[in-house]
Amino acid sequence: MRPPPDFRHESDARSAGFLRVAGVDEAGRGPLAGPVVAAAVVLVPGQVPSGLDDSKKLGASTRDRLFTELLALAEVGVGMASVEEIDSLNILRAAHLAMERALAALAMLPDLALVDGNLLPRALPCPGRALVGGDALCLSIAAASVVAKVTRDWIMVDLAQQHPGYGWDRNMGYPSAAHRAALASLGPTPHHRRSFRPVHNILYQE
């Protein structure tokens, strides 16, 4: 069984002189609809919510609790990229743009950003380190994964009320069988990503 994420990467950064360290992660690269959302979180040592882990390992009620505690105990910035930006830039660049915006939303830029993944955003506004699987290794990135996931889920629940039939309050825009069936029968909404193949194929089928 893998160990939970810890504060080792943040401690190493602080030892190297980076005193203000933010974890950065995104949610929503895979869905067929909705924005991609990123978060940047600066944790305070000794004030880390209990049970903090990669958002994919947590249930919804635990994520909601951690989200509330993180807003109270940590510094949080959120950024997003729209469906239009996803379609014009591609999903990776849009996710990186959301990360850049999340860092810019912090009260003050960090000395170092620990970014989940193997690539750093092009226009990162501060020094950064990419950390593959960072949400399972690094507490600050795990915190960012929770904030990004909960924020995006709330957006999709709201959009589900405006566009009933696609099940976005349950599938969060991901390509579930029910979502694909609704897409085929109801057609795309303005919130569907035209550059994603299942949506593109419906729009341009002969």
User: Model confidence over 167-190: pLDDT tens digits?
Assistant: 999 999 999 999 999 999 999 999
The pLDDT tens digits for 40-78 are 999 999 999 999 999 999 999 999 999 999 999 999 999
Mean pLDDT, residues 18-28: 98
**Can you read off the two tokens belonging to residue 27?**
């949610």
pLDDT of residue 1: 76
Tell me the whole-structure pTM to 2 decimals.
Answer: 0.96
Whole-number Å distance between alpha carbons of 100 and 104: 6
**pLDDT computed for residue 206 by the predictor:** 40
Does the pLDDT at position 4 exceed 80? yes
CATH ID of 8-162, from 3.30.420.10, 3.40.50.720, 3.40.50.80, 3.40.50.10470: 3.30.420.10
Total residues found in the chain within this entry: 206
Beta sheet of 36-42, edge-to-edge order? 75-81, 36-42, 21-27, 112-116, 128-131
Cα distances from 30 to residues 91, 117, 198, in angstroms, run 9, 15, 12
pLDDT digits (tens, 9 = 90+) for 104-148: 999 999 999 999 999 999 999 999 999 999 999 999 999 999 999
Q: What is the distance in angstroms between the CA of the first residue and the CA of the last residue of the chain?
A: 50
